[in-house]
Structure 1
Amino acid sequence: MATRSIFRTISGRLTVGSNLTRNAESSRFSKPYSADAAIGGSIVEDSEEKDDLRSRIFRLRLPKRSATTVLEKWVGEGNQITVNELRVISKELRRTRRYKHALEVTEYLVQHEETNISDADYASRIDLISKVFGIDAAERYFEGLQPSSKTPETYTSLLHAYAASKQTERAEALFKRIIESDSLTFGAITYNEMMTLYMSIGEVEKVRDVIEVMKGRNVSPDIFTYNLWLSSCAARFDIDELRRILEEMRREGGSNEGWARYIDLTSVYINSSRLTNAESSSPVESEKSISQREWVTYDFLMILHTGLGNKGMVDQIWKSLRNTNQKLSSRSYICVVSSYLMLGCLREAGEVVDQWKESKTTEFDGSACLRILNAFRDVGLEEKASEFQLLLVEKKCSLEDEIS
């Protein structure tokens, strides 16, 4: 739908290590290759299915079987391989969590066409090594790179590996090297990694410190930066700063329609929720270790993924929240209903309304639904408001008199 396309345009689908399929000149390989001894494996499954390089690699069902052997055999049969072909295959393997095979493909690429290796290729290898062999191996690989290959992309990839495994001391030491660097220029994505780490370990107050460093170095925030900043404020129940950030986003966004839609969605959440008088700022831990503070952060992460059109992530976050032992708040229902409406997922929004009405712990709040409806109208999203109104009528929410 149009709204989803707009949101996707905002983000540019930023990923750690930048774009792993950066355009590069295609190169041909013809010499045989010795399998990486650190990884090993040998057996290749034969099949009568489609016979191209990608299909052969994807027919390897077990990680112990070697993509390197497939590549060697392919070249040995007189076939050729391009750099971009290997990049695409590696990216697809990563997407399906076949990290060991993806790493073997990138190793083949490095061994055979080193002169055409991009910064993104090295960054991808750091990430894959951390997943296959662990953080220590990834760190050794990074430190062993030539100085010319220690770029913003490779630094950020290692920082991401530290952040993902909550290696706070290592991440902070690397971040110190990054901000003290005079020869390299780092973008928002690098700073976002540190903020993501601090949010994940509950040190939300440090997010603002990263923001100050970022602004001091004249690095422009992106949509992820603002989301993390908003989330940290929400976790501290600092509504005044939340509103100041939204005003800054409006100034920085200019005439970007997608950016404005994201701000509007966040405003819908703030204006329709009860954050100002909601739960105590003292977190109440559940058996599954999600506190009320963290819960607000999950709500904002849901808004982020809505802004990017990532319905799957919205589904996953909502499922995670429902599977905790914490009592769901009206705020969380407001957030997920708003998200599904923005994504055009009326069926899912209706299911959430049903779950809310059937909940034995959280009373259905008709006035909250009315606030969502009015908030959509206030920011000019009339079509969304009309869809939600019809949904409420269909679900017999008894708001006819109030919303007519």
Structure 2
Amino acid sequence: MNSPLHSPTRKQKQANNPSNLPEFDVTLQTMAARSFFLSLRRTSSTIIKNNACSKGISHSRFLSSGVLASDVLEESSSSTGKDDLKTRIFRLRLPKRSVINVIKKWVTEGNQTTMFELRQIQKELRKSQRYKHALEISEWMVTHEEFALSDSDYAIRIDLMTKVFGIDAAERYFEGLQLSANTSETCTALLHSYAGAKLTEKAEKFYERIKESNLSFSALMYNEMMTLYMSVGQVEKVALVVEDLKRKNVVPDIFTYNLWISSCAATLKMDEVRKILDEISSDSRSNDSLLNYINLVRIYIKASHLVNAEFSPLVEADKSITQREWITYDFLIILYAGLGNKVKIDQIWKSLRMTKQKMTSRNYICILSSYLMLGHLKEIEEVIDQWKQSTTSDFDISACNRLLQAFKDVGLNEKANDLHMLLLQKNSSPTNE
């Protein structure tokens, strides 16, 4: 059994991959599955994960109301362990307790804090979904002139205000920003808020407004609109956004292509997918990530001809399947997950388990991620049990760790938490790699 703290070596990977196929990457798998799944459910929180962020509101009375000085003293004092600003802030267990009071006390004790330190603490608070405390750090920076806020600080503030107070508060804050803070990042942050709440009409109106401005936008802004249209089922509008992007000579990124291809795949327009792949291939700006993505999609295309058949992918129990065929079936499972077709996922998985081919951790991770995308926790439990009972493939907690991290990386924190809890229930505690 692989150690949960160490990834397999290259030799081990080759031993488990006799056909010399490229190692199946969990993050790429999750990203691909997510794109198809977007036609069913909105999951766009990570697209603006590292770029979006924001500035101040006049809600400080809400942020620190009901907080006693004794609360802070209680949380900041400790007879053991490290004592720095980050540690004190992370000792605040309840949202009602005030980060602002902790920072004030830290400063009055003669300590200093820097913008870099505050941003790092805020980043970790956001990763832990402690949005109210993260917003309070933003409030501190806003009210102290020695801290010069960047475009990203303002954008993060808009994102945090949406999470803590709602879109209306974020919208009012954005409209009250000085002209110098009205940037592509803050505009994208507000558009992200509209898209996340599926406020299509508001998003479209704001999109038209900022699209005609003098601001220079990256592909991120267009990706937000594409993601929104995928999530509300208006797949046909994705191509219109791509036209806008090209008209403005904006360079598409891997998410742009991912969403564009997904919009075609959602309606099984594989000829359109091929045209997009040809466009990527002929673009001199294509990098290794895009070329790897092309290879992934080509496997989807190869598998997609089975979609229109009345379940031709069922295989005979006595048939031996090559590793190359296995990968095709793996991606077919993900394709059906994107289409929300659990029945066919069940059928493929059942038939594959009856073959003579030895299961690998890749196969188990594929089916786990697909059931997780669709929220079928009972089936996930069954797959974990099947994996643990397997006589040919050891249960690999390190692969589960990578799957957990992949879901977190694309913003699916709730689903990652669901899997985490199921693993704990199965006495398979995941660890940080």
Cross-structure match for 1:161: 193
SS of 2:344's equivalent in the other structure is coil
Question: Against the structure 1 CA distance between its residues 35 and 54, is the aligned structure 2 distance closer, same or farther, given a 3 Å change threshold?
Answer: farther
Q: Give the partner amino acid of 2:248.
A: R
Is 1:191 the counterpart of 2:222 in the alignment? yes
Q: Is the 8 A contact 1:187 1:219 kept in 2?
A: yes
Partner of 1:289: none
1:239 maps to a residue whose letter is: M
Which of the numbers 335, 343, 352 marks the counterpart of 1:327? Answer: 343
Give the Å deviation of 1:39: 1.4
What is the match of residue 110 of structure 2?
78
- Alpha carbons of 1:177 and 1:65: their partners in 2 closer, same or farther (altered >3 Å)? same
Residue in 2 aligned with 1:248? Answer: 279
Given that residues 21 and 87 in structure 1 are in contact (C-alpha distance below 8 angstroms), is that contact kept between their aligned partners in structure 2? no
CA contact (8 A) 1:35 1:69 kept: no
Question: How many angstroms does 1:270 deviate by?
Answer: 1.4
Q: Does 1:39 align with 2:71?
A: no
Higher relative contact order (CA 8 A, sep 6+): 2
The CA RMSD over aligned residues, in Å, is: 4.0
Match of 1:65 in 2: 97
Match of residue 92 from structure 1: 124
Deviations 1:337-362 (A, max 9, x none): 9xxxxxxx942424657999xxxxxx
Using a 3 Å threshold, how does the CA distance of structure 1 residues 142 and 259 change in structure 2: closer, same or farther? same
> How many Å apart are 1:257 and its aligned residue?
2.5
CA contact (8 A) 2:51 2:185 kept: no
Query: Matches of residues 4-403 of structure 1 in structure 2 within 5 Å?
Result: 15-16=47-48, 19=51, 36-41=60-65, 42=67, 43-44=71-72, 45=75, 46-47=77-78, 48-113=80-145, 116-181=148-213, 183-252=214-283, 256-274=287-305, 277-278=308-309, 326-329=342-345, 346-350=360-364, 394=392
Of stretches 107-116 and 81-90 in structure 1, the one that deviates more from structure 2 is 107-116
- The answer for unaligned runs of 5 or more in structure 2 is 1-6, 11-22, 32-44, 312-330, 354-358, 371-389, 394-433
1:360 maps to which residue?
A: none
- Which residue identity lines up with residue 169 of structure 1 in the other structure? E
Task: Kindly indicate whether the alpha-carbon contact (under 8 Å) linking 1:253 and 1:260 is maintained by their aligned counterparts in 2.
Answer: no
C-alpha separation in 1, matches of 2:223 and 2:259: 8
- Identity value in percent: 50
Deviation for aligned residue 1:35: 9.6
Question: How many residues in Structure 1 have an aligned counterpart in Structure 2?
Answer: 302
1:328, CA displacement in angstroms? Answer: 3.4
**Counterpart residue identity of residue 107, structure 1:** E
- The residue type paired with residue 92 of structure 1 is E
Show the counterpart of 1:309: none
Shift of 1:266: 1.3
Aligned amino acid, residue 238 of structure 1: K
Letter in 2 for 1:328: K
